[in-house]
Chain A
Amino acid sequence: MTPEEKPGENTMTRTDFLASAAKSAVLIGLGAGGYASFNSLTSKLAKRKLTPVRGYPNSTWYSMAIDITTCIGCGKCVEACCTENDVPPEHFRTWVERYVVKNNGEVLIDSPEGGKNGFPDDIPESDIAKSFFMPKMCNHCDESPCIQVCPVGATFLSPEGVVLVDYEYCIGCCYCIQSCPYGSRFWNPKRHTADKCTLCYHRITKGKLPACVEVCPVKARIFGNLADPNSEISKFCRDNAVMTLKPHLKTGAKVFYKGLTKEAV
């Protein structure tokens, strides 16, 4: 005991004892509770199965397959899309890219006017090793980065698996446009909101085909219900080696390409 301390200062009264006992009990209780919930969480996690590829959540799960080996680059799909959906000039819900691999290995890629008016015959045929056309559009991703980042939930996945934008709700922050790795979204200067392909939602919900699919003269675009094993798109994806764009980003893209080669981006 130091000289400054008064005698009896260190002795514990009954009230002090009860108070500290109550505090200890609460702390022990909290600790035990925390330990128990941590244990239950870890056991839950341990039981969780690893499912690398999930099944379709609904009986209708629309999507599209594109046959690069068939596409002739006529641009009819782009034109039909722009007309059907009143797409502003210089903007595209779908577009067609041309890939030209030259004999020296150089790859030329272009999409003048989104391929709406076709492509010029500007490269000497003798220089070309191979060439192909590749239609692009929103990939209607199952784990879409655009839906993830929308601050108000104006972009959402419909029950049929279509990624849509609520134009009456979108605040126009452009975060979704930044997050889309495929360049499929654009700023609509008329609506002042984000805009993109809807798979012609207004048509498909009435049993019609998307405009781009309907006008394609070579059936390079196949639309349908992935969850129906007998649908044309299911058969197409089953019978052909198909691939999605940028699979390493794990966006769950569900526009499937047949004939996708290493040159395509």
Chain B
Amino acid sequence: MWSLFTHPMSLFAQAGTYVFPNEKNELQWGILIVLYPYLTGLVAGAFILASLVRVFKADAVKPTYRLALLTALAFLICAPLPLVGHLGHPERAYEIMFTPHATSAMAIFGFVYLWYLMAVLLLEVYFDYRKDMVLAAQKSGMIMKCAYTLFTLGVKDLSPKALEFDEKAGRFLTIIGIPSAVLLHGYVGFIFGSLKGNPWWSSVLMPLIFLLSAIVSGIAMVFVIWMATTWFRKQKLDIKCANAIGRYLMFALVFDLTLETLDIVHRIYEAGESLEILRLLSSGYLYYTIFIVQLFLGGIVPLIVLAVMQAAKMSDAVRIRYYFVLALMVQIGVFTMRWNVVIGGQLFSKTLLGLTTYKLELIGKEGFLIFLTVLSLPFVILFVLTKILPPWEDHEENDSLQGKAAVLAG
């Protein structure tokens, strides 16, 4: 099979290196497992951004509230795909739910996932959109009318009391949703952080680092999608909202970078048995992806530019361009962080005396094309979701007006 990408092992192979014979074959976890924490991170981050509006009353970012909810939903729907796709026996995947092994960190994923999808996100979207769906059902064609009625679960009551209940239920769900989002992604970090056999992963900071980087990536992803869709819809971008998101992104980056740096400093200062091999790894294989892309281009540069932008005077158009590029850089940085954790954690032998190698293939079960497909799928789902449940504020205003007119006419 044509290999798309190979870590240049031969460059770093040196006399005295030794890897266990079973480690000379393929790495166990490939690019699909890199995608898994990336996707769940986006879910958690997007939800946290949505919760800023609902729970923390950050009204400036209200234009992104519904988009953030739908983004979280679209990415959550796709989150298990890379996991199931990677399994040797995907047809047995249901066993995780039916016969979970109590001591396994991975076994809880199904339940955390279902809780978050069914008890938090779907319900919150339901309560948030119920009024819109009832109104939309009134003016849609036959098929969509049936669909919207089905989505409302037949509850057509638009009385002030019912709407107030929707609002209260939505707020309550967001309050539950914040610890759930933290649990979802902190838990993903725990899957890696709790393995004592792997010194690159084994760290109590891992769940926190995953969580903070998730918040960073989620905010940045909603930011990018919101700017892009506003531009495509030829609407004017709410610069106050953009500035507010930029500020939140900056704060999230401060915490994220602090933790990532703490992790590195701690490892170096502690100088444990794995220091030598990790130093070899990070100065060779992973030098560009850790120091240049993840920390510098994906962290330090966006943080500095965002900080300068808080004080600098610049036109709205320039500001928006900066935000767009910075959010993309952050996005790439967080994806690279996932790569550095998942692939990086397997690039050295458990002998701690040698490096292994990773080959990314173009075609195949865990190839680059499958990766691209799974990565694109949430965007397709989000596109469909925005058609069924428009998240735009301008649309909402029009809709509400039409809805009011319809109610009055009725």
Contact = CB atoms under 8 A, between A and B. Distances in A.
B28 A193 contact: no
A181 B16 contact: no
Interface residues of A, number: 45
A175 B191 CA distance: 9
B187 to A, nearest CB: 13
A107 B16 CA distance: 7
B23 interface: yes
B104 A151 contact: yes
Interface stretch (A4-12, A29-37, A41-49, A90-98): A90-98
B162 interface: no
Contact of A92 (B21, B104, B198): B21
Contacts of A150: 101, 104
Question: Which among B92, B107, B346 has the highest number of chain A CB atoms within 10 Å?
Answer: B92
Nearest to A111: B21
Interface in B94-119: 95-96, 99-101, 103-107, 109
Contact of B103 (A110, A148, A182, A184): A148
Interface in B167-205: 191, 195-198
Given A181-B350, A187-B28, A249-B196, A175 B104 contact: yes
Chain B: interface residue count, which band? Answer: 35 or more
Contact of B22 (A92, A106, A191): A92
A183 B349 contact: yes
Nearest to A180: B197
B95 A169 contact: yes
Nearest to B23: A183
Contact of A187 (B16, B25, B95, B104): B25
Interface in A196-250: 249
A184 B22 contact: yes
Contacts of B22: 91-92, 95, 183-186
B236 interface: no
19 contacts: A91-B22, A92-B21, A95-B21, A106-B15, A109-B351, A149-B104, A149-B106, A149-B195, A151-B106, A151-B109, A153-B99, A170-B88, A171-B96, A173-B83, A174-B28, A178-B28, A181-B350, A183-B20, A187-B28
In the A-B complex, the 10 residue pairs with the smallest Cβ-Cβ separation, listed nearest first, are: A172-B88, A183-B20, A181-B197, A192-B88, A174-B28, A153-B101, A109-B18, A151-B107, A151-B106, A186-B22
Interface of A: 90-92, 95, 97, 106-111, 113-114, 136, 145, 147-153, 169-175, 177-187, 191-193, 249, 265
Given A169-B95, A193-B89, 14 more contacts: A95-B21, A97-B18, A148-B104, A150-B101, A151-B96, A153-B101, A153-B104, A170-B88, A173-B106, A178-B29, A192-B88, A193-B88, A265-B351, A265-B353
